[in-house]
A and B are shown apart, each in its own frame.
Chain A
Amino acid sequence: MTTALTLSHGRRSDGTELLTAVGEIDMSNAAELARALAGTAGPLVLDLTEVEYLDSAGLSVLFPHAERLQLVTNPLLDPVLTISGLSDLTTVHGA
């Protein structure tokens, strides 16, 4: 059984690709996220507003795509993103 995570693809009004994640991300389902990210190319907005938990397993999936990612997050995730240094590599927007 993996941790509940819903991933849905979409596009922003400006045409940028959008990936919306809802749920929790840990080592049991990080691969799902990795696959979803691999399925996209070019700039991508990753919406983590509804993600309640993100740990190093999730982060390590995000790092390879850091250059092309823009993150939309919630305050709960701030410490993790800051400490890991991901917020220095990507653009982070508050929700």
Chain B
Amino acid sequence: MTRSEDAESAATPTAGTDVFAADTAIARDLALVDWAATTPLGDPEGWPQSLKTTVSILLSSKFSMWMAWGPELTFFCNAAYRRDTLGRKYPWALGRPAREVWAEIWNDIGPRIDTVLTTGEATWDQALLLFVERSGYPEESYHTFSYSPLRDDAGLVVGMLCVVNEETERVIGERRMATLRDLGSDPSVVRTEQEMLDFARVQLSRNPHDLPFTLTYLLQDDGSAALAALTGIDDDHPAAVKLLPAGSETVWPTEAPVRGDSVLTPLDGALFADLPTGVWAEAPVQALVVPLRQQGGAPYGFMVVGLNRYRDLDEGYRGFVELVAGHVATGVASARSYQAQERRAEELAELDRAKTTFFSNISHEFRTPLTLIMGPVEELRHRLTDGEAREELEVIHRNGLRLGKLVNTLLDFSRIEAGRMQAQYEPVDLAAVTGELASVFRSAVDRAGLDFRVDCLPLPESVFVDRSMWEKVVLNLLSNALKFTFDGSIRVAVGVEDGMAVVTVDDTGIGVAAHEMPRLFERFHRIENARSRSNEGSGIGLALVKELVGLHGGDISATSVEGRGTRFTIRLPFGSGHLPAGAVLREAGTGPTAMTDPFVQEALRWLPDEQATTMSVTAGSVVDGSPDAPAPGAEAAHVLIADDNADMREYLTRLLRGAGYRVSAVDDGRQALRTIRATAFDLVISDVMMPHMDGLALVAALRADSRTASVPVLLLSARAGQEASIEGLQAGADDYLVKPFAAAELLARVRANIELARLRSHHARWRTALVDSLQEAFFVCDEDGAVVEINRAFTDILGYGPEGLPYRAIHPWWPDATDSEAHQQVSDAFALLLGSTKGSYTIPITHRDGHRLWATATFNQVDDPDTGRRVTVGTFRDVTAEHYAIQRESALAALGTCLARATSLPQALAGALDELKKLWRARGVMAAVFDHGDEPTLTSTDGTPVWAELPAERRGTLDSLRQGPVLTPAVNPTGAGILLEFPDGPLALWIDLGENRPFTGEDQLLLSLLAGHLAQGLNRAHQIDQQRETAIALQRAILGPAQLPDGFAVRYEPATQPLEVGGDWYDTVSLPDGRIGIVVGDCVGRGLEAASVMGQLRSACRALLLQDASPAQTLMALDQFAAGVPGAACTTVFCGVLNADTGQLTYSSAGHPPGILVQPDGTTRLLEDGRSLPLAVRTGKQRPEGTCVISARSTLLLYTDGLVERRRRPLSAGIDQASEALQDGRNTAVDELATDVMARLAPVGGYDDDVALLLYRHPAPLEMSFPAESSQLAPVRKSLRSWLDQCDLPPTTVQNVLVAAGEACANAIEHGHRDAPGATIYFRAEAYVDNLRLTIADTGRWKAPQPELNTHRGRGMRLMRALMHQVTVTPGPSGTTVDMHARIV
């Protein structure tokens, strides 16, 4: 060691100091070298001029350089090289032989230096990998450098100069970025954990530099960690242990990562003896174990990463490994949450399917055998006379009725569920109807020994009820009361309360325990161990009652005290406004449909003492003539009375009921015809003389219709005589009776006719019963396609009953013509039906209540044996559920496609809303994201709505959705909505369907499935957005420069799709003489390869500009260089050198689009001189140069073609557009202007090519900071004056600005002086095209200024306001800012 050991403290300048004067810091250390004693160069005083000059150039250069001189190649370097590359070798290296300094890489660089020394020709290396030992270990580093010869005074080569740019950060940064980008580039929505891990494995194995090996462990339920994926290491390596028990620390530490902490672990010991090395010569010596963090939970597992031993584990490396682990953890999270969601959705769908299937099956499957049981039983009851057998038959019959009732109740549920409950609400006197129903139960209640009170006072107006539903409601409640009441009474009451009709059913029964009350109306819920008259019961009666009352727009509640009794209260609104208009009848129809039988039958059987004597007792009650009790135990014949005389109707009704018939009565022939078409009757008794349609016309109409042709008709007439009776019989009546008549005679004729007809119609009835018991809808069409016969399933499915027959084409269930697609499908099918002998089709049809169904029909043409006419017989099946299942699959697929295609979050959301709108043919779909406070961000399929302008109702709906649970659909009459998780906050989605369009359970299921899917997809899009931001940030980091010279603004935007690093670049280089080199270039292609070419060209161009600041020379040298770099040819470059003081710009363009210069007078100039071919097309050809002066307040725009080039549009159009944007930004600061230009020129879907952009406005803003002292005023004024001269302003303006600025500075100094003398004042002046802006800010801590207190400061403020066009003073706790604008006239 020959340097002075006490160098630091001595620091005495020795001989030669002036040689090193260019850099004092390095000079001190150079001066401490004992040159004479330790180097062949001797004392610096005696160095040749060439060496002195070279050393001085070296030291003054800001660019990183080192040199070697003389026989031992003695080493010198400058401050930049020391900082960037030399590390710990400084200052030891100074004056040493270069071979010693760079011993570890001498094999690499020695031959290159020899070449330079022997041939005198320069070398060039790009991003050469060198393992340098400057930090205590061999370090992976990359250097772009040239060696050029140094000559002595005699012109002989005696040394070399190395200009070097260390690119380690760039090369490693690009490599890591590529891995992160690839990890995030999985185009598919991740499905399973394994797929995700496989994908990650492939990506990680592609970076063996930073990840020599990785092991991914996932935690199991028992706390152990299982190896899930590995890269770079064989799975039979001892370090790749398959399972780490919980808490194990033996191979890999598990406790720390499970806690969520990363841990660095040394790789020593036998276990790690034979580790893989990745791409390196030697294996890792350390591994980083990082947790796979789960948001808000314990980690999913951890990843072991073998570390590149040639890099320090610095913040960047550690950050990279954690990002990698973060990616994998996110992947695991997505995959698991996707699986969980999928499982949940499948379970929901399965449950729904099972339920629907169960209800449909149970009802239909029971009905067919029931029909076939009850039919023969009925026959036998009439035929058998044997007492014992007959009693057993009665048991069968009763239980058949019971089963039928249960099945019908289940069917009702099924219909309600499917929205097929076909209600007909008619105005009734609720008190009368309810009272009548209650009276049906009287005998049973009496027999049970209970008190029965019916208090049904007449109501002020009608209540609209569906009679059959209402019967079920009342009868269910009564039978319930009877079942659980053993003493006391049952009371039925009707009244008015709070403007609603109220019906109560009270009992004094056993009551319901308080804890059971909430589940009282729950389906299939039975209260266990309750004392009751019967253990039978399915637990669905009350549930049905609740549904039925709900269909009436009413509600039902229950109160109960255990041991004291129960009260059910039903409230129904008056009027019909709350009911669907299509189902409301204006007037009351026929009387009760008499389904009371099964209820009473069942109730009677609960009562004691009835088992043995049912028949005799019930028969007795009929004989008693009790008018309300029909003949129990027998299928009473059903008789319809049509008479316009009310007295006669009542008389006949009483008479026939007394004889055990079921009786309905209507006022005229027309009503009779309608009623008969809807309900089968055993006999019609009709008066001849009636309004609207008389008896004869009725008979004719009945006979004309094949379905009613066989109904027996008994005509009553006041007209006596043979002729009249013949007329009646000729019309087709079965019998004729003249008034007045004896009751006995009437009854005899009725019985005879019914029996006769029963014999006659036996065959027809069986046919009807069988057709009606078909599960599938059945129809018969005539030759014109009119539907002339249907069965019950047809009515169940479509809502159209037999009363409307015949249904002529176009049938009422055809979809509306406005739905043209569906309408067309149906008319095609109809044509097929008429034109073919058999076939099958699936079509959309519309239920009577308006909802959409899908049906698959099959048909056959047959000849009607009676008429000989050709008819079509068909059946169809409701395939709505299957249809929607298919629709669901395709909707999911469509949404998936839309989400996968989206490249940003807003795009994904907008696309998804469109899909939903299409799917439900909605008016519109809106998404409200509650990302901040109560005012959400809205997205809509129609325009851009504003929250405050939405209807209050809609705001309320969205708000309440937000309060509700996620993924649970909410429906109201105008649409449906759902809440889902969104990256920025909860998202409430609303589908506007318009008024009263049904949104069925199917729709709700679909909506929640889609919403779950959407949440996933949006999350993914959010990740893409983040990746995009990362990509841009990384590219910008590669691009640099970190600090732009004043007056410049730059932008880089990668192409939207695919998201990749690109080959565009911009650069500014501060040259030693104070000028600024400006470069904008564009390499062919994109992706990492282009980025790497770009990096090389950029570095080369930078170095060339530093060596020879002529743009043409630089480009010519770059031609040479590009010729040797694969992929660099045809790069376009604009290269310029700007004198920022004068605005003088010298430039040369290698095939690059022209720069745009917009001048203050509004003219635009294109920088079209100095143009030549792209790089390396004609190497060696002289390149031209152009010059121009950027006049004061002009703006220069340089760019790559992505900014202006669009398909099918001339380049000049884009250039014009860019010029306009610059013109419009006359008074915008350059940085903001850069943003504006990028936004304004962006195509709708984002840029489809990379864009690099560079803006400069002349002159650059003036920025100064100075201490708050009055002595500073003169120098500040001097700088400002010289800057204002650059701005080319009228002398008056200059003087005004000087005084105003002086006053503002004086103010700041005066106030600052008070408390903090010498505090810093910040001064900035910026020129726009028509405007100057000055900002003076002080940072001192002084109270708000009160200039008014001081007269001459007050005068100063007045001067400022008078001289400038706008003055704003903003006092603040940390200082005062004065902002002034002067217009340039």
Contacts and interface: CB of A to CB of B under 8 A. Distances in A.
Interface of A: 1-4, 24, 26-28, 53-57, 59-60, 76, 79-80, 83-84
B1353 interface: yes
Contact of A55 (B1299, B1309, B1351, B1362): B1299
Q: In terms of DSSP, what is the predominant structure of the interface of chain B?
A: helix
Nearest to B1301: A55
A4 B1358 CA distance: 26
Contacts of A83: 1358-1359, 1362-1363
Contacts of A28: 1270-1271, 1273-1274
Contacts of B1353: 56
A28 B1351 CA distance: 17
A9 B310 CA distance: 79
A28 B1305 CA distance: 12
Contact of B1273 (A27, A54, A60): A27
A26 B1302 contact: yes
Given A55-B1299, A79-B1295, A26 B1355 contact: no
Which one of B1291, B1296, B1306 has the highest number of Cβ atoms from chain A below 10 Å of its Cβ?
B1306
A54 B1363 CA distance: 13
Contact of A53 (B1292, B1299, B1351, B1356): B1299
A26 B1362 contact: no
A59 B1302 CA distance: 13
Contact of A26 (B1270, B1296, B1358, B1363): B1270
B869 interface: no
Contacts of A84: 1355, 1358-1359
B1298 interface: yes
Contacts of B1358: 83-84
Contact of B1306 (A2, A24, A57, A76): A57
A83 B1291 CA distance: 18
A26 B1353 CA distance: 12
B1277 interface: yes
B1352 A59 contact: yes
27 contacts: A1-B1271, A2-B1270, A2-B1271, A2-B1274, A3-B1271, A24-B1277, A26-B1277, A26-B1306, A27-B1306, A27-B1309, A53-B1299, A53-B1302, A55-B1302, A55-B1303, A55-B1306, A55-B1356, A56-B1303, A56-B1352, A56-B1353, A56-B1359, A60-B1352, A76-B1295, A79-B1296, A79-B1363, A80-B1299, A83-B1358, A84-B1358
Nearest to A76: B1295
Interface string B1178-1218: 00000000000000000000000000000000000000000
A60 B1355 contact: yes
Nearest to B1274: A3
Nearest to B1355: A56
B1359 A4 contact: no
Contact of B1351 (A3, A26, A60, A76): A60
A26 B1273 contact: yes
Contacts of A80: 1299, 1359, 1363
A27 B1271 CA distance: 9
Nearest to B1363: A79
Interface residues of B, number: 25
Contacts of A60: 1351-1352, 1355
Contacts of B1362: 79, 83
A25 to B, nearest CB: 10
B1273 to A, nearest CB: 5
Leading 8 A-B pairs by shortest Cβ distance: A60-B1352, A56-B1356, A28-B1270, A3-B1274, A1-B1271, A83-B1362, A56-B1355, A55-B1302
Interface of B: 1270-1271, 1273-1274, 1277, 1291-1292, 1295-1296, 1298-1299, 1302-1303, 1306, 1309-1310, 1351-1353, 1355-1356, 1358-1359, 1362-1363
A56 B1271 contact: no
A10 B1306 CA distance: 31
A27 to B, nearest CB: 5
Contacts of A59: 1352, 1355
Nearest to B1298: A53
A53 B1298 CA distance: 8
Contact of A56 (B1270, B1274, B1306, B1309): B1306
Contacts of B1298: 53
Nearest to A1: B1271
A27 B1351 contact: no
A86 B1274 CA distance: 24
Given A1-B1271, A26-B1306, A28-B1274, 10 more contacts: A26-B1277, A27-B1273, A28-B1273, A79-B1295, A79-B1296, A79-B1299, A79-B1363, A80-B1299, A80-B1359, A83-B1362
Contacts of B1292: 76, 79
B1308 to A, nearest CB: 11
Contact of B1270 (A27, A53, A54): A27
Contacts of B1271: 1-3, 28
Nearest to B1291: A76
A55 B1291 CA distance: 17
Contacts of A53: 1277, 1298-1299, 1302
A22 B532 CA distance: 121
Contacts of A1: 1271, 1274
Contacts of A24: 1274, 1277
A54 B1271 CA distance: 15
Nearest to A82: B1362
A57 B1295 contact: no
Contacts of B1351: 60
Contacts of A2: 1270-1271, 1274
B1024 to A, nearest CB: 58
A59 B1355 CA distance: 9
Contacts of B1299: 53-55, 79-80
A2 B1273 CA distance: 9
Contact of A4 (B1274, B1295, B1355): B1274
B31 to A, nearest CB: 35
A55 B1270 CA distance: 13
A45 B1179 CA distance: 75
A26 B1296 CA distance: 15
Contacts of B1302: 26, 53, 55
Contacts of B1277: 24, 26, 53
Nearest to B1296: A79
Contacts of B1295: 76, 79
Contacts of A26: 1270, 1273-1274, 1277, 1302, 1306
A1 B1278 CA distance: 15
Contacts of B1363: 79-80, 83
B1359 A55 contact: yes
A28 B1306 CA distance: 9
Contacts of A27: 1270, 1273, 1306, 1309-1310
A3 B1269 CA distance: 12
A60 B1359 CA distance: 12
A90 B407 CA distance: 115
A60 to B, nearest CB: 3
Which one of B1274, B1291, B1292 has the highest number of Cβ atoms from chain A below 10 Å of its Cβ?
B1274
A4 B1306 CA distance: 17
A76 to B, nearest CB: 5
Contacts of A54: 1299
